[in-house]
Amino acid sequence: MDPSTDPDPESAPGPDEASPGLFDDLLSGEPIFENKEVLRPSYTPRRLPHREEQINNMATILVTALRGDTPSNILIYGKTGTGKTASAKFVSDELETTSQKYEVPCEVQYINCEVTDTQYRVLAQLANKFIDENVAYITEELERLDARRDDLDDGTASIEETAFDDREALDTRIENLEADREEFEPVPMTGWPTDRVYSTFFEAVDYRERVVVIMLDEIDKLVEKSGDDTLYNLSRMNSELENSRVSIMGISNDLKFTDFLDPRVKSSLGEEEIVFPPYDATQLRDILQHRSDIAFKPDTLSEDVIPLCAAFAAQEHGDARRALDLLRTAGELAERDRTENIHEEHVRRAQEKIELDRVVEVVRTLPTQSKLVLYAVILLEENGVHNINTGEVFNIYKRLCAEIDMDVLTQRRVTDLISELDMLGIVNAVVVSKGRYGRTKEMSLSVPLDETKSVLLADSRLGEVEDAQPFVQARFDDS
């Protein structure tokens, strides 16, 4: 062979190496998205179609903050994807912008209670935010006063121009500010008594004059995890604050969560209530059209894409978040296919992908006992058993427990776990009468078998089961 045509052995990729230009190749196609971020739940749009009434209600309540008064507390209700958080953040941004315009000290502090779900964490996060703000304010003020003092020292300004009676008063003010700055100690995320965290937060928020709206998103998660102590403390603060005022805006997916609150907290918290109804398919189309104009390159969507996304999401109680996820995922699938347009087929594939992702997440986070029950159902289906009954599932479940050294639950408890899997949409279970033999549950799998089995076997405990086949042969043994 001519050596000049022989490829350089050092430059040629080995069998396990990626070829050069891997990403160059992927980047060679035309992008479909102009701005993908507008399709994510974290994006706050400048316009929220079909939520004008709720936005105006919020603004009418919160406008009192711009007059230096305390706004009423607000509770916002609505199912997932009805625009609650996006609307509340939009109104909050407008409130802060207007407060700066009119030089009124007013601010909104946002907390996601699904993440920050204990009284300690909520108070610590708020305390540290106000401590940071106070330290920044003090530092700025010290720089201004130090400059004034320098002007006095070099004779370029007189004491009358400083708003202080004399040089000693200016020095005292600087010393006090420096002492205040030293005293502000950040709250650690664990380790302090809760009453110390509360008093630190209280002193930080009351350090100077301001109206504060505390937005507690998914407030029901906070109450569910740690009771209503946080809400009780926050709702009664104003009677003790001297310089500042605090208002609470709670956002909840659960319309009944206030049933569990102390009556005093409930009456204080629910001074104003705003309900966000689900979107219908027409409203979802408007939302998707508005976002898609910003999200995609021109002429990217075929005409049936938005109506189909809206129709799928309308079936999910009018969930705009689901509709936006669908549209974004359809775009990503089209990009991977190297096509220039998004078609109906991409939306249908996106629907399947999102549903599978949901199933995978639900199955992955099931308790081990529920996973064993589900694995028993899968083993039966794999072996062609139809109309699977509770007794058959229980027999295999017992053997799986023995195999991995787990406690065996009673058949009644296993029946309860099957009902929970049915509620989650993982199995389809119906009660059937067996005449004089009583009643039993018959079930079948409602999710893709292979993917679900893979998720279960990824659990280290279930992965210990070497060979489950013999268990299926024994399914008709006496229980």
Residue 183 structure tokens: 């005293």
- CB-count burial class (<10 Å; 0-12, 13-18, 19+) for 127: buried
Cα gap 316→309, rounded to integer Å: 11
In the block, which residue shows the tokens 């589900």? Answer: 374
Known binding residue 83? Answer is yes
Known binding residue 51? Answer is no
Known binding residue 85? Answer is yes
The CB density around residue 102, as the number of other CB atoms within 10 Å, is: 9
Known binding residue 86? Answer is yes
Known binding residue 329? Answer is no
Residue 306 structure tokens: 């938005």
Cα gap 231→74, rounded to integer Å: 13
Q: Report phi then psi at 352, rounded to 5.
A: -65, -40
CA dihedral (134, 136, 137, 138) positive or negative: positive
Cα gap 73→64, rounded to integer Å: 12
Give the SS3 label for residue 442.
Answer: strand
Distances (CA, A) of 335 to 82, 219, 236, 346: 29, 38, 53, 10
User: What is the CA angle 65-227-75, rounded to 5?
Assistant: 35
Known binding residue 190? Answer is no
Annotated binding site: 82-86, 279, 291
Annotated binding site for ATP: 82-86, 279, 291
